[in-house]
Amino acid sequence: MPKSGLNVALKGLDDIFSTEESRQEEQREQVQQIPVSELFPFKNHPFKVLDDDSMTRTVESISQFGVLAPLIARPRPEGGYEIISGHRRKHAAELANLDTVPVIVRNMEDAAATILMVDSNLQREHILPSERAFAYKMKLDAIKNQGARSDLTSSQVGTKLRADEKVAKDSGESRNQVQRFVRLTNLVPELLDMVDEKKISFNPAVELSYLDEKQQQDFLEAMDASQNAPSLSQAIRIKKLAQQGEFDYDAVYNIMNEEKKSELDTVTIKNETLRKYFPHNYTPRQMESIIIKLLDQWQLKKQQAKQKKQEEAR
């Protein structure tokens, strides 16, 4: 074969390989610098972006080193990009006055994007009960909408998983606990905020979620009037009143106004309340010791004042 023919053959192979390499390069995810102004939150994003101490540290890090982990976003039909993962980093970048951030752009359908959004955020260390509740619900709905994925949603006997079993397995929770968290999404905002603020415990809140909106508002009024948080047994009794059609404000107030033995025997001061009076490096035992000494001094002053008053009366 003439030499020129060999060159033609080699050139053809180079074109083939170059074309394949180009195709792979197109399919490979690329990190792009996207203007912060073109990034929008995920629809009904259940996780709160707070300007707390953690955000302050994130802003300081981004100001010094930039955004090290790219955000994940998908194109929006109306323009710009919807954030799937990285809402906190985007907000921190805004506070750090960055114009652009690194983003991996993916074309994802709603259910897959929702699942990725939830899973990426559930890795956070601190998650409020309300955040977990709405996140689990969104992921459940997304999995159910993936009807074609029988490996996740089929109810057939075998290795198939129900939607709630899939969410439970991914999150390390029991299926029952996932369902209980989802129940919290039925609470009115005022009650759900109290759960986040630990003014109402998780288990009583689950029972109260069976009340309708009007009943929950009545409960809130009764709780405020009694100045008591519900115990689990009280919440169960209030739920039973509603189920039996015997729910009214007076009945709920009477339940909430009952004295709890544990409250008569125990005084609790929240850690965050005490911390503002002590250096950050003080241990609970050191704080307790100082509190006892101050109480002893207070009691001694009261006794001295009482004794002085008695002497003056003689």
Instruction: Give the tens place of pLDDT for each residue, 149-170.
Output: 444 434 433 334 688 888 988 8
Identity of the residue numbered 147: G
pLDDT at 278: 84
Task: State the average pLDDT for the chain.
Answer: 84
User: Is residue 291 in some structural domain?
Assistant: yes
User: Is residue 201 in some structural domain?
Assistant: yes
Residues 136 and 176 reside in one and the same domain: yes
Q: Does the pLDDT of residue 172 top 70, yes or no?
A: yes
Residues 118 and 57 reside in one and the same domain: no
Digit-coded pLDDT (tens) for 213-238: 999 999 999 999 999 999 999 999 99
Gap between the Cα atoms of 70 and 243, Å rounded: 50
User: Is residue 17 in some structural domain?
Assistant: no
This model's pTM is above 0.85: no
User: Is residue 20 in some structural domain?
Assistant: no
User: Is residue 66 in some structural domain?
Assistant: yes
pLDDT at 292: 87
Long-range contacts of 115-119 (CB under 8 A, 24+ apart): 115/139, 115/142, 115/143, 116/72, 116/84, 116/85, 117/42, 117/45, 117/84, 117/85, 118/46, 118/142, 119/170
User: Is residue 152 in some structural domain?
Assistant: no
Return the half-sphere exposure (C-beta side, CA atoms, 13 A cut-off) of residue 14.
Answer: 6
Res. 280 pLDDT band, cuts 50 70 90 = confident
Digit-coded pLDDT (tens) for 77-99: 999 999 999 999 999 999 999 99
Digit-coded pLDDT (tens) for 113-137: 999 999 998 887 789 999 999 999 9
Q: Which residue has the tokens 């100001």?
A: 63
With beta carbons less than 8 A apart as the criterion, state whether 164 and 116 touch. no
- For residue 96, the domain's CATH number is 3.90.1530.10
- Structural domain including 221 reads 197-266
pLDDT at 158: 32
Gap between the Cα atoms of 168 and 15, Å rounded: 50
Q: Which residue has the tokens 């129940």?
A: 183
User: Is residue 292 in some structural domain?
Assistant: yes
User: Is residue 303 in some structural domain?
Assistant: no
Q: What is the DSSP letter of 229?
A: P
Residues 89 and 30 reside in one and the same domain: yes
Q: Give the tokens for residue 138.
A: 């969104």
Residues 210 and 226 reside in one and the same domain: yes
| Beta sheet of 31-35, edge-to-edge order | 31-35, 100-105, 71-75, 81-85, 39-40
Count structural domains, the chain. Answer: 4
